[in-house]
Amino acid sequence: MPRTYRRKLRHAMYLIRKDIQACLERDPAARSVAEVILCYPGFHAIVFHRGAHFLWKREWFLIGRWLSHINRFLTGIEIHPGAVIGEGFFIDHGMGVVIGETSIIGKNCTIYHGVTLGGVSLQKGKRHPTLEEGVIVGVGARILGPHTIGEGSRVGAGSVVISNVPPGCTVVGVPARIVFREGEGKLDRPQPLAFDHHQLPDPVEGAIQALNDRIAGLERQIGQLHEAADRERRKIE
């Protein structure tokens, strides 16, 4: 076998090992390498995609698309063969995941089922998101357009991201807003890789609570003014 092909084969095996390792590290339900290889559709989807992407880069477009279509049929995960995916990528469960053609996913990223990395333009060129290293995208989130999600950031479940996200941030909501930023407040400590969705703040609830607090304060002030006015009226009488 020519040296070039041996090198490419070693690199492919390296990527597969990293993807298996990602499953074992990030899913407490994973018990063994054999279980990941046989029972994890997210892993299967990545392996299929790496083959389809290999064909796509060599301009075997139809075969690459056909392989990605088979991938979708078998796993329920749709990854365009043009998408660039780094090592250590983990798709948890995976059903309903859609990753567009010009998406770029860095090393050690994690996405959950129902996530869409979509485009909002009919123009050719970069129209899908870029996830930098270590990004986590929660269940059912949508990242739309050629926006960059900074290194180590988190996208909360059900969020819709329509703008860039700086590194080290947590965003939630529709449209998504930054609720934590690295080095400020609760982010001023090391962030674990685990993604505890139930601990994410709700910015809408926070805004409503702030309004309620403000209204209560105004009511107290109005009450105090009424009492002062009553005292003055009694003095006059």
Closest CA to 50 of 96, 5, 14, 94: 14
CA 126-130-131 angle, to 5 degrees, is 170
91 CB contacts (<8 Å, ≥6 apart)?
41, 42, 43, 45, 46, 77, 97, 110, 111, 112, 113
Say how far apart CA 27 and CA 195 lie, in whole Å: 11
Q: Which residues of the chain have pLDDT under 70?
A: 1-2, 5, 183-206, 237
pTM: 0.76
Closest CA to 163 of 89, 194, 180, 173: 173
Pull the structure tokens for residue 197: 């969705």
Say how far apart CA 45 and CA 72 lie, in whole Å: 8
Pull the structure tokens for residue 117: 């990395």
Can you give the pLDDT at residue 188?
Answer: 40
Can you give the pLDDT at residue 183?
Answer: 67
Say how far apart CA 162 and CA 144 lie, in whole Å: 6
What's the pLDDT tens digit per position in 124-165?
889 999 999 999 999 999 999 999 999 999 999 899 999 999
CA 146-95-56 angle, to 5 degrees, is 50
